[in-house]
Amino acid sequence: MSTDGPAPVSRDERRRRTEAAILEAARALFAETGFERATIRAVATAAGVDPALVMQYFGSKEKLFTEATRWAHDQVSVLDVPREQVPAAALADLFETFEGAGGRDGAVALMRSCLTHPEANRTLRDDVMCSVASGVADRIGGEDADLRAGLLAACVMGLGLSRYLLRIPAVSEASRADIERLLEPALRALLGPPDRPAG
Amino acid sequence: MSTDGPAPVSRDERRRRTEAAILEAARALFAETGFERATIRAVATAAGVDPALVMQYFGSKEKLFTEATRWAHDQVSVLDVPREQVPAAALADLFETFEGAGGRDGAVALMRSCLTHPEANRTLRDDVMCSVASGVADRIGGEDADLRAGLLAACVMGLGLSRYLLRIPAVSEASRADIERLLEPALRALLGPPDRPAG
DNA sequence: GGCACCGGTCAACGGCTGTAGAGTGAACTC
DNA sequence: GAGTTCACTCTACAGCCGTTGACCGGTGCC
């Protein structure tokens, strides 16, 4: 309580901290109630600042939301594994996204608002689902590759929705291992028969 | 075009018709934009009446929403088929719910709002998902029956979400038959090994 | 034919929302 | 140490929302 010194926080540092606090509060509130019900006033209160400061930092509620739900493409492992490991990797990616160290609020916030907020809808469909499904389809191959990949993505998203958003007890309270054990074989069936390079 | 007569609509008949028109408009708007963004004024305009009349008929926006998204338990066939037909019946129920003759807007409206509206959330989780999953679990049997049923419900809901709400192209534009052909075997894998009556 | 009823409309209120602009005091620069 | 910058706050506005109560006119009943 003495070695801390007189709080030598520079102006830049303060700005970075409050911006992070606002972003964190926004993520939490967007995740909890969705875009429409989360108000800038509530975000500001949670972050301990004035509502006008939120506007000053992010320009508008829309831009705040976009910033708070930015999707990181690079933490998707399903695009980097051989065909047979796609189902397991897809599940691992889901668990990592929603239970990993990096705050899960951003993902929940995007998903929470994806049915009522036009841009969240577009982002989740195009930048997440279609983008991933397209890569998965390449690994699956065959005539129905696109549909198979789409159905796989749909099932994984259904799991995420049930477990983290709707919180259906049987799915929400199950262990990650149990879900992988039961669901991975089912997703594997979506891949279809093993590769046949030509045909 | 002449035998119609001078529109002999009684007062009761008029009331029933306008109430139905309001309900239909509400379903359509709730389905399109969700509970929060759909306004009573917009519903009234779409139904061709005054906003105050909507209040007079349904009491509040909440009650209007509840009425517009009432869930009919009786059209679920998955609870009336033997174990091996559960996956096919679950898919048939989904297609019937969202593409059947009885307006699909009610189902879309409930689903559209299930992530942001507390009561829609509760209804979809408890009255739809848990209720159905519980019945399915009974048919599946075994140690993990509840989780297996929950995962099956999650996958089917993921399909519905991708096809009718997010409209992911690969899933949305596929034929019902193709989806059944590819997804039914996968869902069948969720049932686990065939019944073993004791054990 | 007079009267009560009721489907329907009009105008308005209070509250909440996103947003804008002026102002303030402490941290930085020279 | 004076002047500037900038994080931050206060106050306010305009618009939209759900909701209400008074009012109007045709319909049904005696």
Q: What is the DSSP string of chain A?
A: --TT-S----HHHHHHHHHHHHHHHHHHHHHHHHHHH--HHHHHHHHTS-HHHHHHHHSSHHHHHHHHT---GGG--GGGS-GGGHHHHHHHHHHHHHHSSS-SHHHHHHHHTTTT-HHHHHIIIIIIIIHHHHHHHHHH-STTHHHHHHHHHHHHHHHHIIIIIS--HHHHSS-HHHHHHHHHHHHHHHH-SPP-S--
Confidence at residue B197, expressed as pLDDT on a 0 to 100 scale: 56
Q: Which residues touch strand D (CB under 7 A)?
A: A 11-12, 14-15, 18, 48-53, 56; B 10-11, 38-42, 51-52, 55, 60-62
| Rounded CA–C1' distance between A57 and C28, in angstroms | 21
Q: Is the pLDDT of residue A197 over 60?
A: no
| Rounded CA–C1' distance between B26 and C3, in angstroms | 37
Low-confidence winner among B13-17, B45-49, B176-180 (lowest mean pLDDT): B13-17
Q: Which residues of B touch A189 (CB under 8 A)?
A: 185-186, 188-189
Confidence at residue A192, expressed as pLDDT on a 0 to 100 scale: 87
Q: Which residues of A touch B183 (CB under 8 A)?
A: 151, 190
Q: Is the pLDDT of residue A99 over 60?
A: yes
Candidates A116, A163, A190; nearest CB to B116: A116
Residue A168 sits at the chain B interface (C-beta within 8 Å): yes
Residue A53: which nucleotide is closest by CA–C1'? D8
Per-residue pLDDT band for A9 (boundaries 50, 70, 90) equals confident
Q: Is the pLDDT of residue B71 over 90?
A: no
Q: What is the DSSP string of A118-141?
A: HHHHHIIIIIIIIHHHHHHHHHH-
Q: What backbone phi and psi angles, to 5 degrees, belong to A80?
A: -120, 20
Average pLDDT in the A136-143 region? 92
| Rounded CA–C1' distance between A12 and C28, in angstroms | 11
Per-residue pLDDT band for B122 (boundaries 50, 70, 90) equals very high
Confidence at residue B196, expressed as pLDDT on a 0 to 100 scale: 60
Q: Is the pLDDT of residue B3 over 60?
A: no
pLDDT per residue as tens digits for the range A25-68: 999 999 999 999 999 999 999 999 999 999 999 999 999 999 99
Q: Which residue has the higher pLDDT, A61 or B74?
A: A61
Nearest-Cα distance to chain A for B51, in Å, is 22
Residue A147 sits at the chain B interface (C-beta within 8 Å): yes
Q: Is the pLDDT of residue B183 over 90?
A: yes
Confidence at residue B61, expressed as pLDDT on a 0 to 100 scale: 98
| Rounded CA–C1' distance between B52 and D22, in angstroms | 13
Confidence at residue A6, expressed as pLDDT on a 0 to 100 scale: 44
E strands, B57-186, in order? none
Average pLDDT, chain B: 92
Question: What is the set of domains in chain A, with CATH numbers?
Answer: 11-68 (1.10.10.60), 73-191 (1.10.357)
Residue of chain A with shortest Cα separation from B117: A33
pLDDT per residue as tens digits for the range A21-30: 999 999 999 9
Confidence at residue B195, expressed as pLDDT on a 0 to 100 scale: 64
Average pLDDT in the A104-129 region? 97
